[in-house]
A and B are shown apart, each in its own frame.
Chain A
Amino acid sequence: MADRPSDLVQGTLDMLILKTLALEPMHGYGIAVRLEQMSKGVFRLNAGSLFVAFQRLQRDGLISSEWKATENSRRAKYYALTDQGRKRLNSETREWGRQVAAIARILEAS
C-alpha cells in the first residue's frame, strides 16, 4: 500500500487535488477523505504533504481559499478551483491519459 505521497508519481498529487475540487469547494480534511475514498484507501495522505500542495496550488493561482463554517459548524478553510485551475485539470487529465495509454502499450507488448 502506498501511503506516502513520495510514492505517488511526481506531480500527480496536485492533479488529484484539482480533480477532487472539480465538483465543489472543500476543506482540507474533506479533500483527504475524498481522495482516500475515491482511491479505495490506496492514498492516505498526511497533513504536511497535503498542505504543502495547497500552498503551492494557491500560489500558482489554480485554487482559491475562503474561511467558511462546516456542516458541524466549525470554522474551516474551503478551497475552490479557479478558472485557471479548471483549464490545468483538463490539460493534465488529457496528458495523463496519453501517458498511461502509452505506458500500457509498452507494458503489454511482448
Chain B
Amino acid sequence: MSLLRSIAGGLRSLFRKERVEGELDEELCGFLEMAAEEKMKEGMSRKDALRAVRLERGSLEVSKEIVRSGSWESFVETCWQDLRFATRSLRKSPGFTAAVVLTLALGIGANTAIFTLIDAVMLRSLPVANPRQFYRLGDNNSCCVMVGTQEGGSFVLYSYALYENLRDHTPEFSGLAAFEPWTSDLSVRRNGSAAEPYKGEFVSANYFNTLGVRAFAGRLLAPPDDSASAPRVAVMNYHTWQQRFGLDPAVIGSTLNINGVTCAIAGVTPPGFYGDTLRSDPPDFWLPLAADPEKWRLPNAAVEWLYLVGRLKSGFAPEPVQARLTVELKEWLSSHREVIPDRDRKDIPRQYIRLTPAAGGVEKLRTDYETGLHLLVTLSALLLLIACANIANLLLARGSANRSQMAVRLALGAPRHRLIRQMLTESGLLALMGGAAGLYVAYAGTRTILLLAFRGASYVPIDARPSLPVLGFSILLSLLTGMVFGVLPAWTASQSDPLDAVRGAGRSTGDRASVLQKSLVVAQVAFSIALLIAAGLLTQSLRNLEGQHFGFVTDGRLIVNVAPSLSGYTPDKLVGLYQRLEERMPQVPGVLSASLSWYSPLGGNNADERVYIQGKTPDYRWTAPSWDRVGPHYFETIGTRLLRGRVIEERDRPGGLNVAVINETFARRFFPNEDPIGQHFGMTDVSHSGDYEIVGIVEDAKYQDTRGPAYATFFLPLLQTPPGESFRGWVGAIELQVAGKPENLEPAVRKALADADPNLPVLNMMSFDEQVARNFNQERLIARLTELFGTLALILACIGLYGVTAYGVAQRTNEIGIRMALGADRGSVLVLVLRAALAQLGLGLAIGIPAALTGGHLLAHQLYGVKSYDPAILGAAALVLSASALFAASVPARRATRVDPIVALRYE
C-alpha cells in the first residue's frame, strides 16, 4: 500500500515536476522566511537574519537538493541526466563511439554466430518427445550399401532381415526404427504437370511411432504400410507443405505421382521436424521401405543398407542392451552364413553393436564439420578477447583525455559516486549499442556461414536466430569490460586531489601506454597479417581451381539430371526414350545443341572399369580407366575438342559397328608409341578385347578430380552393347548448349521433357557453371571464412592501434603543447606520434609474416597453382594491413598536430 503510494508520489513528481518543484520552493521559502522573521523580532536586520538562518538551517538550494535526493525518483532523474550527458558526449566524439561500437558488434556478433551454429549442430536435440531415450545402433557414419562383416567389427548398416530380427527380439526397446542413411531424389508430378524434384527418405513404418512424432495433419506411417501389397502412401514435411503446397489442406488425402507411382499423401509432420539427421535439404517426403524403387535391396538379407535407431524403455541402461544386441547379431550372422561372403566369415566373432546416444539424431553434420567448427570457435573466441582488449584501450584513452574535466567537476563538488555512475552510464550505453549492432552481425553472420557451407541447398533446417545464452554471455562480457575500464579512469581521478589534477600534476611526458597494451596491438597485427595472407592464398587457389581449363566449356550450358530407372524403364524401352529426347530437346527455343550421357563432368559421378587391349598382354597400367556413355553431339555440346578421328554420331546405334572414343591420357597410357585409331579393346575379360574399335581421340577433361590430371577415359555410344556383355549406363544427364542465361531456359526445358515423356523423373537442373562450382564448396567455405575473419582481425587491429595511439596522444597533450611552443612543427609532432605506431606495426609484421610462412607450409597441400610463399600475396597483405593501420594511427596523430600550445599550456 505504502509502496504504491510512494510510487504514485514519485511518478507525480516526475511527471508534474514543475508544480511539485514550485510547491517545495514555496514551502521552503516560507520556512526560511518564518525563521528569519523570528530572528528579526530579536532585533537583527533582515539581511543578517537571512544569513543567520542560512547558516543555521541550510540554504534554500542545498535544502532543495537534499529533499530531492531523498526520493527514488531523483535516482531515475539523475540516470536520465547521465544518459543524456553520455549521449551528448558520445555524439561529440563519433570516432571513438564508432570504434567501440564496431569492435563490440564484431566481437559479440562473430561469437554469437559461431555458437549459434555450434548449438544447432552439436548441442540441440531432435525436435521429438524424450530425445534422450534414443540410441543408435552403430558408432560411425559408414555409407551406403555393404555386404558381409563391417569395418572394424562395428555394425552400422543392417539388412532388412537382420533389422526385423533385432526389432522382434529386443524387448528393451519400445521401438526400433530403420531408415536409409541418405535422402533419395524423387521426381514428383501433381495432376499431370511437369515433374519436379523433391527429396525423400525411405523409412520403416514404425519410424514415426519410435521417434514419438505426431501428425500435424492427417496421419503418419503405421506398420501396415510396410507390406508390399499396401496402397502406396507418403508423409509430407511441414516445411514442404508450407513452401511448395501453400499449406493447402486439400493436399492431405490427395494423390501425387512419385517416381511414376501414384501415392496418397497420408499426412504432414509437425513444424520443425526434419527427420533423423540434421542436414541440408531434409526429406520432403517420407515413404515406407516397401516403396523403395531399388527393389533388390529389401528382400535380400545380404545387403546391408539401413541405419537403426531405437528408443530404450525407461529404466534400461544402454550397456546391457548393447551386450544383448551383440549376442543377437553374432547368432544371426552365424545362422545366416550364406549371406556372408567366404572371406568375411572368420570375422563374425569380432562383430559387435555399439549403442551411441542419438538425442541429436544421426550426427552427420557434426562429424562433417566438427574440426571446422572448432577452428571457428577458437578464432572467434580470440576475436572476442581482442575486442575486449581494444575496448579497454579505447576507454582508457578516453578516460585519460577526460581527466582534467573530471578534476574540475570534482573540485566543483561533484560526489565521487556520481562521477563513477556517470562513467558507468556511458559504458553501459556503449555496450548496449554494441550489443544491438552485434545482434545484427550475429544474424547476418550465421546466415552467411550457412549460405557458404550449404551452397546450392534450397533449405537448411538450422535457425539463424542468435542463441540467446551466447548473446547474453557476449554482451555481459563486453559490458563488464566496458564497466571495468570505463570506471578505472574515473576512480583514479577521483582518488587524487582535485587541485593536483586541475593544476595538471600527473601529466606525463613520454608514451605511457603500457607494455601490455602495446604487445596486444603487436599480437593483433601479427594475427591479422597471418590470417590475411592465408585468406589471400586460399582465395587465389580457389580462383585458380575454378578458372582452370577443365577440358570443357561451362559458359551457356545447362545440365539436366534425370533418372529413367526410377519410373520403371527397362533397357529395351530406352531406345524410344532416347530418340524422343534427342529429337525434342534441340527444338526448345534458345537451345543450340543437346546431347545425352550416362553422367556429366564434375557432377559427382564417375565409373571405372578394367579394360583389355586386343593383342597386348594385360599389365598394371590397364587398371580401371574411367568410362562414360554419350550420345551424338556430346563433345560439341560440352565444348570438349576432338583431336583426331571422329566423335560418336547418330549412326552408332545397336547393331552398328561397336565404337569408342578415347581421351589423350588413355591414348598415351595404352598406346604410347602407336596410333590408337583402329585399335580394339573391351571390358570384363580378355575374350572381349575385340569389342570396341577406337574411332576418335578427344582432349583430356576432368570428370571427377579437379586438382589432379584428367583420368584416362573412354566413351561409348549410349546403347551399344556387344554380345555377351550386360548393359550398364542409363542416361542420367542431358547437356544443353544454350543462348543466353542457362537458368532462364528451365521452364521451357521442363515443358519439353514432359512432352517427350511425362513420367521421366527429373532430379535437378542447373547451369554447368553451378555444377562445377559445387565441387569447390569446401574450398570456398574455407576461403570465405578466412577472408571474413581476416577482415575482422584487420579491423580490430586497426581499432587497437587507433586506441593505443589515441591513448598516447591524450597522455602527452601537455608535452606536445610544450614541444610546439618551443618550436616543433606539425611534421615533427606527426612523426613523434606515428613512430610509436610504426614500431608496433613493424614488430607485428615481423612476427606475423614468418608465422604465416610456417603456417602456409601446412596449407601447401590445399593450395592449387599458388605457392605458400607467393610474394605478390604476401606483399599485398602487408600493404593492405600497413595502409589501414597507418590510416587508423593517423587519426589521433593528426589530432596531436592540432594541439593548440596555448590551450595545452593554459594550466601552467
Interface string of A44-70 (1 = CB under 8 A from B): 111111111001101111000000000
CA distance A72 to B30 in the complex (A): 12
Residues of B within 8 A of A47 (CB): 28, 31-32, 57-58, 60, 63
Q: Is the interface of A mostly helix, strand, loop or mixed?
A: helix
- The reply to whether the CB of A74 lies closer than 8 angstroms to some CB of chain B is yes
B27 & A48 in contact (Cβ 8 Å cutoff) = no
CA distance A55 to B72 in the complex (A): 11
CA distance A56 to B67 in the complex (A): 10
- The reply to whether the CB of A96 lies closer than 8 angstroms to some CB of chain B is no
- The reply to whether the CB of A28 lies closer than 8 angstroms to some CB of chain B is yes
Residues of B within 8 A of A74 (CB): 30, 33-34
Residues of A within 8 A of B24 (CB): 51
A48 & B62 in contact (Cβ 8 Å cutoff) = yes
Residue of B nearest to A58 (CB): B9
A48 & B58 in contact (Cβ 8 Å cutoff) = yes
CA distance A61 to B31 in the complex (A): 23
Given the known inter-chain contacts A47-B58, A60-B2, please indicate yes or no for A32 contacting B31, CB distance below 8 A. yes
Residues of A within 8 A of B6 (CB): 59-60
CA distance A58 to B23 in the complex (A): 14
Q: Is the interface of B mostly helix, strand, loop or mixed?
A: helix
B34 & A29 in contact (Cβ 8 Å cutoff) = yes
A76 shortest CB reach to chain B, Å: 5
- The reply to whether the CB of B56 lies closer than 8 angstroms to some CB of chain A is yes
Interface string of A64-104 (1 = CB under 8 A from B): 00000000101111000000000000000000000000000
Residues of A within 8 A of B58 (CB): 46-48
B237 shortest CB reach to chain A, Å: 61
B776 shortest CB reach to chain A, Å: 72
CA distance A52 to B722 in the complex (A): 109
B867 shortest CB reach to chain A, Å: 79
CA distance A48 to B62 in the complex (A): 7
A48 & B67 in contact (Cβ 8 Å cutoff) = yes
- The reply to whether the CB of B1 lies closer than 8 angstroms to some CB of chain A is yes
A59 & B9 in contact (Cβ 8 Å cutoff) = yes
B70 & A44 in contact (Cβ 8 Å cutoff) = no
Residues of A within 8 A of B64 (CB): 48
Tier of interface size on chain B:
20 to 34
Cross-chain contact of B71 among A29, A33, A55, A75 (Cβ < 8 A)? A55
A77 & B67 in contact (Cβ 8 Å cutoff) = no
Which of B26, B27, B58: most chain A Cβ within 10 A?
B27
CA distance A44 to B57 in the complex (A): 8
CA distance A55 to B424 in the complex (A): 30
CA distance A50 to B35 in the complex (A): 14
CA distance A32 to B67 in the complex (A): 16
Residues of A within 8 A of B28 (CB): 47, 51
Given the known inter-chain contacts A44-B56, A47-B63, please indicate yes or no for A28 contacting B2, CB distance below 8 A. no
A110 shortest CB reach to chain B, Å: 41
Given the known inter-chain contacts A46-B63, A51-B67, please indicate yes or no for A61 contacting B32, CB distance below 8 A. no
Which of A33, A49, A72: most chain B Cβ within 10 A?
A49
CA distance A50 to B66 in the complex (A): 10
A28 & B27 in contact (Cβ 8 Å cutoff) = yes
Cross-chain contact of B30 among A49, A50, A59, A76 (Cβ < 8 A)? A76
B57 & A55 in contact (Cβ 8 Å cutoff) = no
Residue of A nearest to B6 (CB): A59
- The reply to whether the CB of B621 lies closer than 8 angstroms to some CB of chain A is no
B66 & A48 in contact (Cβ 8 Å cutoff) = yes
Cross-chain contact of A29 among B1, B31, B62, B66 (Cβ < 8 A)? B31
- The reply to whether the CB of B244 lies closer than 8 angstroms to some CB of chain A is no
Residues of A within 8 A of B71 (CB): 55, 59
- The reply to whether the CB of B5 lies closer than 8 angstroms to some CB of chain A is yes
B27 & A51 in contact (Cβ 8 Å cutoff) = yes
CA distance A47 to B27 in the complex (A): 10
B63-78: which residues lie under 8 A (CB-CB) from chain A? 63-67, 70-71
Interface string of A14-52 (1 = CB under 8 A from B): 000000000000011100110000000000111111111
B2 & A61 in contact (Cβ 8 Å cutoff) = yes
Residues of B within 8 A of A72 (CB): 37
B70 shortest CB reach to chain A, Å: 4
CA distance A37 to B1 in the complex (A): 35
B28-44: which residues lie under 8 A (CB-CB) from chain A? 28, 30-35, 37-38
CA distance A76 to B58 in the complex (A): 19
A19 shortest CB reach to chain B, Å: 20
Residues of B within 8 A of A59 (CB): 2, 5-6, 9-10, 71
Residues of B within 8 A of A61 (CB): 1-2, 5
CA distance A54 to B38 in the complex (A): 22
Residue of A nearest to B27 (CB): A77
Residues of A within 8 A of B35 (CB): 29, 32
Given the known inter-chain contacts A28-B27, A47-B58, A51-B24, please indicate yes or no for A60 contacting B5, CB distance below 8 A. yes
CA distance A28 to B34 in the complex (A): 10
B20 shortest CB reach to chain A, Å: 10
Residue of A nearest to B23 (CB): A77
CA distance A27 to B23 in the complex (A): 13
Residue of A nearest to B67 (CB): A51
Mark B residues whose CB is within 8 Å of A. Answer: 1-2, 5-6, 9-10, 23-24, 26-28, 30-35, 37-38, 56-58, 60, 62-67, 70-71
Q: A52-B66, A55-B9 are in contact. List 4 more A-B contacts (CB 8 A).
A: A33-B38, A46-B58, A55-B70, A59-B71
In the A-B complex, list the 6 residue pairs whose CB atoms are closest, starting with the nearest: A48-B66, A52-B70, A48-B63, A29-B34, A47-B63, A46-B58
Q: List 25 A-B contacts (CB under 8 A).
A: A28-B31, A29-B31, A32-B31, A46-B57, A47-B28, A47-B31, A47-B63, A48-B62, A48-B64, A48-B66, A48-B67, A50-B31, A51-B63, A51-B66, A51-B67, A52-B70, A55-B70, A55-B71, A56-B70, A59-B5, A59-B71, A60-B2, A60-B5, A74-B30, A77-B27
